[in-house]
Amino acid sequence: MTPARRDALLWLAQRWSAAVLALCLAVHLAVIIYAVRGGLTAAEILGRTRGNAPLAVFYGLFVVAVSIHAPLGLRAILSEWTLWRGRSQAWAMAALAVLLFGLGLRAVWAVVQ
Amino acid sequence: MGVTAGESSAQEAMLDVRVWHGAEHGEFRHYQVPRRDSQTVLDVVTYIQRHLDPALSYRFACRVGMCGSCAMTVNGVARWTCRSHVDQVTADGRLEIAPLAHLPVVRDLVTDMRPFFDKWARAKGRFQGATTRSDPVARVPPDTPERRAVDAAIECIGCGVCYAACDVVGWRPEYLGPAALNRAWTLVNDVRDVSRLERLRAVAAEGGCLSCHSHTSCSERCPKKIAPTAGISGLKRACARAALGGEL
């Protein structure tokens, strides 16, 4: 793959993940506002989330979008504000993507299992 | 009745002008310049050079907004000095005149434009046709979307104002900048040109159109009222389509 094609596809991935994040955040905030009416406890939250497959899919998608979007955004910031570029930066951002993905899925699993 | 050059009177309104002296390192020097009706910033600089500091270096040619050589930073904003009237840029009679940002300073108000035009070359800003002078002249209908896109962007005269106004150029020195990308956009839409893919590869690479943040400073500052941001967005779409299609 040429560097130009790689950069263009990464740019598209960041745009598409941003669109998914915008939708996920809107739903997330709306559900929070709806759910906390009259107070909310951890037991109530877990009562709704445990065994809830649609919720697992929704937050799984959220985690995937974050894992794509955040490292690509950080890559752009690092390239603009520091001298860190190139292969080492790319590997570090890939590691960050894996870390975010792992931690995110672990959090989702913790509330739906 | 106006005061002739070099004369001043006690009643005459004066401008308090600070002008950059030196190259990358230097200092601002103060001058008092008589205020005139319909006075441009270029008139002020010329007055200083002719009457107060003959060693002051600056660049201009046409004085009527055609050549694009007199752009400077006036009170913090990049603009053509020949088409900037003093009363448009200062309310209190103070002027600070510096060379264009993001370019090496040769001396005083003169910048080295080579990095700016080198980026036009990097963005494949040269027309590449497939016909010879023996072939018939190409007929390009004026109402096609491609021709309209070219029309909107073609009047650039390469003054460097957009380049100096661009935040991304300041952050990423390798960034091609609005003018070079605007030029590439006109050629991407030129139906006679045969280097489209090569050009898209050039502008999609590191430091190309995908680095643009759409701050629109270039469109805001362009004295020709061109919107390079729109062209850069068009390039982003063209690069994305080409990448998805496996062409890049």
Q: Does domain B14-111 have CATH number 3.10.20.30?
A: yes
Distance CA B4, CA B132 (A): 57
Kindly list the domain boundaries of chain B, sorted by start residue: 14-111, 114-244
Q: Which residues pair with B94 in a beta bridge?
A: B16
- The encoded tokens of residue B49 equal 């050079």
Task: Count the alpha carbons within 13 Å of B193 in the hemisphere toward its beta carbon.
Answer: 22
Distance CA B203, CA B213 (A): 15
Distance CA B68, CA B61 (A): 8
Q: Greater confidence, B36 or B9? A: B36
Kindly list the domain boundaries of chain A, sorted by start residue: 3-112
Model confidence band, residue A36 (pLDDT cutoffs 50, 70, 90): confident
Q: What local confidence, expressed as pLDDT, does residue B1 receive?
A: 35
- CB contact (8 A) between residue A4 and residue B201: yes
Residues ≥6 apart with Cβ < 8 Å to A41: none
Distance CA B91, CA B194 (A): 51
Least confident of A28-37, B39-48, B89-98, B213-222: A28-37
One-letter amino acid for residue B168 of the chain: V
What average pLDDT does chain B have?
94
Model confidence band, residue B71 (pLDDT cutoffs 50, 70, 90): very high
Is the pLDDT at B6 greater than 70? The verdict is no
Is the pLDDT at A44 greater than 50? The verdict is yes
Which of B211, B236, B248 faces A2 most closely, judged by CB atoms? B248
Closest CA to B21 of B46, B56, B59: B56
- CB contact (8 A) between residue A4 and residue B243: yes
Question: In this structure, are residues B149 and B233 in contact, taking their beta carbons and an 8 Å threshold?
Answer: no
Distance CA A112, CA B6 (A): 84
Is the pLDDT at A75 greater than 50? The verdict is yes
- CB contact (8 A) between residue A4 and residue B240: no
Is the pLDDT at B7 greater than 70? The verdict is no
Q: What local confidence, expressed as pLDDT, does residue B143 receive?
A: 96
- CB contact (8 A) between residue A80 and residue B171: yes
> Could you report the per-residue pLDDT of B10-60, keeping only the tens digit for each?
568 999 999 999 999 999 999 999 999 999 999 999 999 999 999 999 999
- With beta carbons under 8 A apart, name residues in chain A contacting B244: 9, 12
> Could you report the per-residue pLDDT of B175-194, keeping only the tens digit for each?
999 999 999 999 999 999 99
**Strand ranges (E), B75-161:** 77-80, 94-98, 105-107, 110-111
Model confidence band, residue B5 (pLDDT cutoffs 50, 70, 90): very low
- With beta carbons under 8 A apart, name residues in chain B contacting A76: 211
Fold of B114-244: Fumarate Reductase Iron-sulfur Protein; Chain B, domain 2 (1.10.1060)
> Could you report the per-residue pLDDT of B131-171, keeping only the tens digit for each?
999 999 999 999 999 999 999 999 999 999 999 999 999 99
Whether residue B242 lies within 8 A of chain A, CB to CB, comes out as yes
Residues ≥6 apart with Cβ < 8 Å to B129: B192, B193, B194
- The encoded tokens of residue A16 equal 């598409």
pLDDT above 70 covers a percentage of chain A that reads 100
Q: What local confidence, expressed as pLDDT, does residue A35 receive?
A: 84
Please give the interface size between A and B, counted as residue pairs whose CB atoms are below 8 Å apart.
Answer: 45
Chain A: nearest CA to B139, how far in angstroms? Answer: 32
Q: What local confidence, expressed as pLDDT, does residue B10 receive?
A: 55
Q: Does domain A3-112 have CATH number 1.20.120.550?
A: no
Which of B201, B208, B240 faces A2 most closely, judged by CB atoms? B201
Q: Which residues pair with B31 in a beta bridge?
A: B17
Is the pLDDT at B3 greater than 50? The verdict is no
Burial B208-218 (b: 16+ CB within 10 A, else e): bbbbbeeebbb
**Strand ranges (E), chain B:** 14-22, 26-34, 71-74, 77-80, 94-98, 105-107, 110-111
- With beta carbons under 8 A apart, name residues in chain A contacting B242: 5, 8
pLDDT above 90 covers a percentage of chain A that reads 78
Cβ count within 10 A of residue A105: 16
Question: In this structure, are residues A33 and A59 in contact, taking their beta carbons and an 8 Å threshold?
Answer: no
Which of B168, B171, B206 faces A7 most closely, judged by CB atoms? B206
- CB contact (8 A) between residue A9 and residue B243: yes
Closest CA to A32 of A45, A21, A23: A45
